[in-house]
Structure 1
Amino acid sequence: MAANLLVDNGFYEMMNNSLTKSDYYSKLKTYPEESLVRLLNPLSSDLNAMRQTLLLNGLEVVAYNVNRQHTELRLFEFGNVYSLEQSIGSSNEAQEPDKLKAYKESSRLSMVVTGQGSPYWRGKKAPGNYFMLKGYVEALLKRFGIDINDFEYVAAPADLFEEGLALKTKSGKELGYFGTVRKSLAKQFDIKQDVYAAELSWDMILTQVKKKRVLYSELPKYPSVTRDLALLVDEAVTYSQLRQASFSAERKLLKNVVLFDVYRGDKIPAGKKQYALSFTLQDLGNTLTDKVVEEVMSKLLDTFSKNFGASLR
């Protein structure tokens, strides 16, 4: 299902060796070199450890293709990654079965998008960018009935990405991350063009799918209403916090909240930013009146003001 979705959107599947070069991990903090599963008798220094992430394999494939004039790429890979938990594996007193527990194997899905866009008979293909990749990630999760807004957003690992997001469950488990690959990391593979990559925990996706119940309901008879707010908030305030506060303030009529613009710059005070949010309201039993809509929007604005010090811009 996932592969079909990606192929239908112009992706090509790649298959890489699980053996990799340990030097790739010498400067990484997210995947430290100490957590590598090393081979006792490697054939070469280029294949002396098991990979901890699919991202670096993806960069190898991008470099190989770019060097052969194939610069427009959309790639994905299903594969396993491996790691060693030092707290367990390094203990001298640990019994052999306990030492084996230190070795971890998990399934991942990676996606890579790069290229400036190329002409074809109907025009020009869209260039790869962060938002294109984010759209593919959301579409993939949606195909499995997973709402990306059910997760908490945090910054993606800084040693891997210039900018990006990581998705975590409320219990703190990481579903995955995506963003713009750091230029210093891409430079290690002699890649000069921008690369956008995502890596998702396939095991976590399957776990989330098992929790989802398929529910059917009658199509709404009454139209929805959309209202926008431009809020001036502190830099520390996140969209996730505002979204959660919105649904806490209005549980009945509020159906969706979407962040469609973030602005920093002219006429915005230092330490502040502007969030433009769109709110969808709907009453399943009646047609919404302007009075009811305005009451809900006032309630939301009061909530943002009290909880986050937000003001209408």
Structure 2
Amino acid sequence: MPKAARFSRYGGPEVLTVEEVPLPEPGRGQVRVAVAAAGVNAIDWKIRSGFFAGSDAPDEPQGTGFDLAGTVDAVGEGVRSLRPGTAVFGKAATGAVATHALADADGLVAKPDWLSFPLAAGLPVVAETAYRTLRDLGLRAGHTLLIHAVSGGVGLVAAQLALSRGATVIGTASRGHHDFLTELGVRPVEYGEGLLERVRGVTDSVDLVLDAAGRDVLGLSVELTGDPDRVLTIADGNAGAHGVRFSGGGPDAAPLPEVFAEVLPMLESGALRLPIQQTFPLERIADAHRLSEDGHGRGKIVIEVG
């Protein structure tokens, strides 16, 4: 029987269970993917915890996860671009942490042979978010970009994309990540009290700020850039109080083929690195969420399913 990680009430990681479920059938424009691996992102546990909820409990059991990699095993009406047996990765239309998941065909990209399923599963959300936020910030060669939480998935991809485009990148991270970040070409600074002075100690000016941390750094970021339009957050719901833009994707999301036209060649050549922090089996999805919520990791957490 197919299995899926689901939750029927909001709360901590303990509300997640792995259950037998009916085999999902693809609708028009969709495919069914036999999932090999699924990525874990902060948005997953925020949804599970009820952060965005307007009620005490979901109306019905909910799946979890958006990122997946696997093999197409059924196609819905109108799908011409993908066939059963094609290895793909991208965003799921239903919970990705499952043995089988549905996805819109245009939300998937063919997986090259050199790319592993676990790494492919860790890419879609972080790569699209990094690409989109740099686009919306208007990053150009010669800019100095400050990234808060640069050692996380979004931060790492955004930093390496920005560096490849000729920008200087400063990033906040805990001390244990500094050597790795320096290898990439990032100028790391430790977050916490005194951050403003530490940033000013490594650069004369900051042109743009990407906040991937959500740790009350927006006021400081506006002070560094001198203009709230030069600051963008994906993690702080208090953005409006600082006049800062909040980017959550949705209709503004970048098309995955466009994103990976830039990202995949960099990955293949080694110009972009995205470490996998830890992998878990499907049955340990709750532990994966705990690790993600704990923060301070480097790179991606991945669920290996098949």
Q: TM-score, normalised by structure 1?
A: 0.23
Higher strand residue share: 1
Q: TM-score, normalised by structure 2?
A: 0.24
Structure index of larger Rg: 1
* Greater relative CO, 1 or 2 (CA 8 Å, sep 6+): 2
